[in-house]
Amino acid sequence: MKNELKMDTLCVRGFSYFEERTGSISFPIYQSATFRHPALGKSTGYDYSRQQNPTREEVEKTIALMEKCRFGYGFATGMAAIAAVLSLFRPGDHILATDDLYGGTVRIFDSIYSNYGINCTYIDTGDLDLIEESILPNTKAIYVESPSNPMMKVSDIQKIAELAKQKNILLIVDNTFLTPYFMNPIALGADIVIHSGTKYLGGHNDTLSGFVVTDSEDLSGKIQFYQKAVGGGLSPFDSWLVLRGMKTLALRMDRIENTASFLAGRLKNNPFITKVYYAGLPEHKGNEILKKQAGGFGGMISFETDTEERAISTLANVKLILFAESLGGTESLITYPLVQTHADVPPEKRERLGINNRLLRLSVGIENEMDLALDLEQALEGKS
Ligand SMILES: Cc1ncc(COP(=O)(O)O)c(C=O)c1O
């Protein structure tokens, strides 16, 4: 029955619906590092919380269910989840990745895993021919963010998955921006999905978390082993916070998307703005692909102001919208990707991608849409 439930029901009820043993509606926080063995060679199924913890398992199974696959693993942060996935590769392996990835992902590829002989080439994964041309004999995976961070570039996951299968390489999708509520990359043919659960899944700007999900037994076994061997698994309390946050994922995503679409329309007509990047705008490249592959466009908008001074003064002038890193929470946040999320991306690459000194990125929250529009407009105008 679980697989037949609609996504909004899955969000609220999770994997277990309620806890079987006590009937607890809110899944309990099993705040125990270790578990008593009934006898030598016997286990309750739980030995030590680095390995398994009931609260973490509940959130892992819930994410897997929402992503329409069998296996999910919870980590302390999105980056810890990405590190777990990168542990699948060996020296000499090559990865092709979207050229416009979250800066922290570029940092882990170029400053950590490159030291272990795993190299990454960044390309426009919106261009299928370019992907095919760029596959090397040692390419083991294609790593995609769609829409990407911060330029909202869209990749055709279904077509990339077909190509990856032909070439016998993995397709890994960071689905943080759309969440399982709007898109299920595994159902579109991807092998692994990554989430920064810090964002929409947790949804309240109050906890960090990361997830790896897959339908492959082989990949699942390797990620599970990594979680047990290295640690970094999500704590029981943070697992519970994500479970609680996810109960309202559907409501939040619908609301956030409506507001984002309203704000993107107003920003397009603002005299101080020269470009708006929002995947829900009909003229946005890839809008048609998302209409087919996703149930929505999400709540992330980037836009370019007419001058650098205006971008900087907007950050100082916003009153309701908060100037802070991160995204996907109940509170609307604005960032300056050039010096915040993408400082680790080389300057010439940033400029080529459009991450310039006039670009701002807005994560739309659940406040009233008109309050947000007026705050943004007064901040851009700079009269305060
Ligand atoms: C798309 C994306 N993936 C991964 C991460 C990393 O997640 P975390 O900050 O939870 O480690 C982020 C963080 O901003 C992100 O935006």
- Asked whether the bond before 150 is cis by omega within 30 degrees of 0, the reply is yes
Would you state the pLDDT for residue 351?
85
Mean pLDDT by 10 residues, the chain (384 residues): 84 95 97 97 96 98 97 98 98 96 94 97 97 98 95 97 98 98 98 98 98 98 98 98 98 98 98 98 97 98 97 98 97 94 82 92 98 98 76
**Cα(77) to centroid of ligand 1, in Å?**
8
Active site residues: 50, 102, 174, 199
Would you state the pLDDT for residue 383?
66
Indicate which residue's Cα is closest to atom 7 of ligand 1.
Answer: 78
- Measured CA to CA, the distance from residue 156 to residue 293 in angstroms comes to 8
Would you state the pLDDT for residue 376?
98
- Protein residues with CB under 6 Å of any ligand 1 atom: 77-79, 102, 104-105, 145, 149, 174, 176, 196, 198, 208, 210
Q: Which domains does the chain have, with CATH numbers?
A: 2-246 (3.40.640.10), 249-381 (3.90.1150.10)
Q: Is 56 helix (H, G, I), strand (E, B) or coil?
A: helix
**Cα(196) to centroid of ligand 1, in Å?**
5
Residue 149 CA: nearest ligand 1 atom is 1
Name 49's Cβ contacts closer than 8 Å, sequence gap at least 6. 30, 32, 33, 34, 56, 233, 236
In the block, which residue shows the tokens 């016997």?
42
Indicate which residue's Cα is closest to atom 2 of ligand 1.
Answer: 102
